[in-house]
């Protein structure tokens, strides 16, 4: 079954024809060519595919593209305000060396931003570690990821994002 979908991705209107079974992450990567969102486990465990749909973090490997019809989607590509100005969360990941291979990073950053906003920019280490239960990193041992998120929370507040 072929279906037309239209949604807003990173502020721009996009549309396409998909099968009913096309996953949101497939639509982003294979139809739109936006490969920043990763597919890690493809079983809703690892969180590499996390994007924001209408402001909420979701695992885009466990959502159909047709379910996002009409929605406002933000991916890792939509965070930086300009090519030379990263989002405070991306900046904090770089400053704190919160990645090694980088595969999990897009999902980590998207989950982290959602986490910071849900907790009104106020987080402690235990909360961050608990909230990261849906994102797996196999390189860093999470330590620097946690540090980066704690550093980004006040930076996001200061930047008003």
Partner 1 sequence: MYDFAYHRPKSLADAVSALKGKDEARPMAGGMTLIPTLKQRLAKPSDVIDLGAIKDLAGVKVEGSNVVIGAMTRHFDVASSADVKRMIPALAELAGMIGDPAVRNRGTIGGSIANSDPAADYPAAVVALNATITTNTGKHAADGFFKGLFETALKDGELITSVSFPKPDKAAYMKFRNPASRYAMVGVFVAKTGNTVRVAVTGAGPSVFRVKAMEDALSKNFTSAAIKDIKVPADDLNSDIHGSAEYRAHLVGVMARRAVDAANK
**Positions in the binding site for partner 1 (CB under 8 A):** 1, 3, 19-21, 23, 42-45, 47, 50, 56-59, 62-64, 66-67, 69, 111, 114-115, 118, 131, 133-135
CA-based diameter of the chain, in Å?
47
Of 115 and 146, CB closest to partner 1:
115
Cβ-based burial of 138 (10 A; exposed 0-12, middle 13-18, buried ≥19): exposed
Q: How far is the CB of 66 from partner 1 (least distance, A)?
A: 5
Q: How far is the CB of 69 from partner 1 (least distance, A)?
A: 8
> 106: which residues sit within 8 A by CB, 6+ positions away?
36, 37, 38, 48, 50, 75, 76
Q: What are phi and psi of 137, to 5 degrees?
A: -125, 130
> 8: which residues sit within 8 A by CB, 6+ positions away?
14, 71, 72, 73
Of 94 and 118, CB closest to partner 1:
118
Of 53 and 95, CB closest to partner 1:
53
Of 82 and 126, CB closest to partner 1:
126
Distance CA(32)–CA(49), nearest Å, equals 15
Q: How far is the CB of 84 from partner 1 (least distance, A)?
A: 30
Distance CA(145)–CA(76), nearest Å, equals 16
Q: How far is the CB of 83 from partner 1 (least distance, A)?
A: 28
Q: How far is the CB of 73 from partner 1 (least distance, A)?
A: 13
Of 86 and 136, CB closest to partner 1:
136
């Amino acid at each position: 079954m072929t279906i037309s979908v239209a949604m807003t991705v990173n502020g721009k209107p996009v549309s396409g024809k998909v099968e009913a079974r096309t996953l949101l992450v497939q639509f982003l990567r294979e139809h739109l060519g936006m490969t920043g969102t990763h597919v890690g486990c493809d079983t809703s465990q690892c969180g590499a595919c996390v994007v924001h749909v209408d402001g909420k973090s979701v695992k885009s490997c466990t959502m159909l593209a047709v379910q996002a019809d009409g929605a406002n989607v933000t991916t890792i590509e939509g965070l930086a305000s300009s090519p030379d100005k990263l989002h405070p969360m991306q900046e904090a990941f770089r400053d704190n060396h919160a990645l090694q291979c980088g595969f999990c990073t897009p999902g980590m950053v998207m989950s982290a931003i959602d986490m910071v906003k849900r907790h009104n920019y106020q987080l402690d280490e235990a909360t961050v570690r608990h909230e990261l239960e849906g994102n797996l990193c196999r390189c860093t041992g999470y330590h620097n990821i946690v540090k980066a998120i704690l550093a980004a929370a006040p930076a996001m507040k200061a930047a008003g994002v």
